[in-house]
């Protein structure tokens, strides 16, 4: 099954660039930091600890060259496991918060993407807990750069500290400009968070596994064919679900929800896309034919060409 999952043609719809930085790459950029310190910082057991790790890594991404390097490394790994298409979340909200050279960074990541055999598109991510005004600035940049392979605006971060309702006007403005919205929802919060995002125009949901708690919502996802970006390892390692065995991925798939499998933050969660497919087979009994359907779901629900 491992060989099958590696060789399977795949698409990654939910991967955060900043969460893909391997310890060795971070050490390459910052040789003054001991590997042991990096590995300690990468260890976490809940969502709050993960956010601390994520922020720490982000603070160390200081130049366009850093962003270009981590993009090349991520795409090298994706190509090696037969990922042909990727929508990469770029934390533009964090870049603006750090007051960095956004255009220089985007140029660097775009140049790195252009050299890869993987078809790369971008989802500009805002930070929920920063509020609607900073999110609007991220959305404006996403709309401005639609012709540069930017295909979506999203919100990530703490669902509880930054409820979806805060962003209603930002979502409406973005959709009016012809750009998709792909918010995180139904990860640390329940079905209401998913409902809110769908009612505001989302046609794909980051995570969304807690939709399984609401049969009416599951029916809606099936009826409208709204895809969920499932991240199995992430959900366990952030404490969003008590154990892997309790994840409703099989329930959602069997109900007819178009699920996709993704890594979220592969370096911070020590996973790969091929490994996520293996887990689906090992833990939830997905057959090769079913894994093929899951892989095809990602291509079918992609936002890029």
Name the residues annotated as catalytic: 187
Backbone angles phi, psi at 303, to 5 degrees: -100, -20
Tokens of 163: 């409820």
- Determine the Cα–Cα distance for residues 283 and 230; give it in Å rounded to an integer: 15
Positive or negative, the CA dihedral 67, 22, 131, 87 is positive
- Determine the Cα–Cα distance for residues 49 and 265; give it in Å rounded to an integer: 14
Going by the DSSP 8-state scheme, the letter that residue 264 receives in this structure is: B
290 contact partners, CB below 8 Å, separation of at least 6: 253
- Determine the Cα–Cα distance for residues 96 and 111; give it in Å rounded to an integer: 20
Going by the DSSP 8-state scheme, the letter that residue 168 receives in this structure is: H
């Amino acid at each position: 099954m491992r060989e099958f999952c590696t060789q399977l043609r795949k698409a990654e719809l939910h991967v955060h660039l900043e969460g893909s930085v391997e310890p060795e790459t971070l050490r390459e950029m910052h040789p003054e930091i001991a590997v042991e310190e990096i590995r300690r910082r990468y260890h976490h057991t809940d969502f709050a600890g993960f956010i601390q790790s994520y922020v720490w890594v982000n603070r160390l991404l200081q130049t366009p060259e850093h962003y270009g390097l981590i993009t090349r490394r991520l795409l090298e790994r994706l190509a090696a496991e037969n990922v042909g298409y990727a929508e990469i979340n770029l934390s533009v909200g964090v870049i603006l918060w750090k007051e960095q050279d956004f255009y220089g960074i985007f140029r660097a990541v775009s140049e790195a993407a252009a050299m890869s055999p993987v078809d790369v598109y971008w989802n500009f991510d805002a930070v929920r807990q920063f509020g609607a005004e900073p999110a609007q600035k991220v959305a404006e940049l996403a709309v401005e750069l639609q012709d540069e392979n930017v295909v979506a605006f999203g919100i990530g971060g703490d669902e509880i500290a930054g409820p979806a309702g805060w962003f209603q006007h930002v979502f409406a403005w973005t959709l009016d400009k012809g750009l998709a919205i792909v918010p995180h929802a139904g990860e640390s919060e329940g079905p209401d968070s998913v409902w809110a995002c769908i009612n505001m125009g989302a046609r794909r949901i980051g995570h969304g596994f807690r939709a399984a708690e609401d049969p009416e919502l599951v029916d809606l996802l099936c009826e409208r064919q709204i895809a969920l970006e499932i991240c199995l390892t992430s959900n366990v390692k952030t404490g969003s679900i008590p154990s892997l065995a309790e994840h409703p991925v099989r329930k959602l798939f069997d109900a007819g929800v178009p699920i996709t499998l993704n890594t979220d933050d592969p370096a911070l969660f020590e996973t790969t896309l091929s490994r996520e497919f293996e887990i689906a087979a090992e833990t939830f009994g997905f057959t090769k034919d079913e894994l093929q359907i899951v892989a095809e779901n990602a291509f079918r629900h992609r936002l890029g060409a």
